[in-house]
Chain A
Amino acid sequence: GENVEQHPSTLSVQEGDSAVIKCTYSDSASNYFPWYKQELGKRPQLIIDIRSNVGEKKDQRIAVTLNKTAKHFSLHITETQPEDSAVYFCAATATNRRNTGNQFYFGTGTSLTVIP
């Protein structure tokens, strides 16, 4: 099965700086890579995702990059704000057009703290 590794486990940055979280995966069949943000005591929320036919995707201050050859993908948060403090999980799965319910393999999480 798929194995997703995530680094670092904890990350502290000054407000306004950038934060980068990296994940690697093992299964070359994986083609969809979402990122989730989980605030304390709340459910994980999808914040951005990328499919394997795209190398980079950006949504305001958040971007994700994918290197299929190296099997790694990264989350980039620019101009960090205190409200970005949360645990971030990467995930990987292999999807097809007919089935939207494939199993997701989650990374171990990164606890991000943005220091005001």
Chain B
Amino acid sequence: SAVISQKPSRDICQRGTSLTIQCQVDSQVTMMFWYRQQPGQSLTLIATANQGSEATYESGFVIDKFPISRPNLTFSTLTVSNMSPEDSSIYLCSVGDRLNYGYTFGSGTRLTVV
């Protein structure tokens, strides 16, 4: 399965600032996904990052708040903009596994907004 390097692993940020999270995959993948996992909760899809086109956002998530870049088939970034304490969460990137159809997840970014 793919190996994903995600960074930073954690950060504490001031409200009103922005944080960019990076995911690097060791192989080319068609689509990358960004999830949010609030404490004790399930995984909620934020958007699908498509190479060469704009990301596709799920209901409740907008590009101005969560801009995504996908410059090539092995890399993507998610920015959490104008942060508020409600954005405190774990953010995970993931990719599809061609062999098994399952997802492989990055190690996650634990974000705390103060």
Binding site for B on A (CB under 8 A): 32, 34, 36, 42-46, 49, 51, 89, 91, 93, 95, 99-104, 106-109
Contact = CB atoms under 8 A, between A and B. Distances in A.
Interface residues of B, number: 25
B42 A108 contact: yes
Given A34-B101, A91-B103, 7 more contacts: A43-B107, A44-B105, A51-B101, A100-B98, A104-B33, A104-B45, A109-B41
B48 A34 contact: no
B104 interface: yes
Interface of B: 1, 29-33, 41-43, 45, 48, 92, 95-98, 100-108
Contact of B108 (A43, A46, A102, A108): A43
B101 A32 contact: yes
In the complex, which of the residues A32, A100, A108 has the most CB atoms of chain B within 10 Å of its own CB atom? A100
A93 B45 CA distance: 13
Nearest to A6: B42
B27 to A, nearest CB: 12
B30 A101 contact: yes
Given A46-B104, A49-B101, A102 B42 contact: no
Given A43-B106, A100-B30, A106 B42 contact: yes
Contacts of A99: 30
A34 B103 contact: yes
A111 to B, nearest CB: 8
Nearest to B49: A101
A109 to B, nearest CB: 5
A107 B42 CA distance: 7
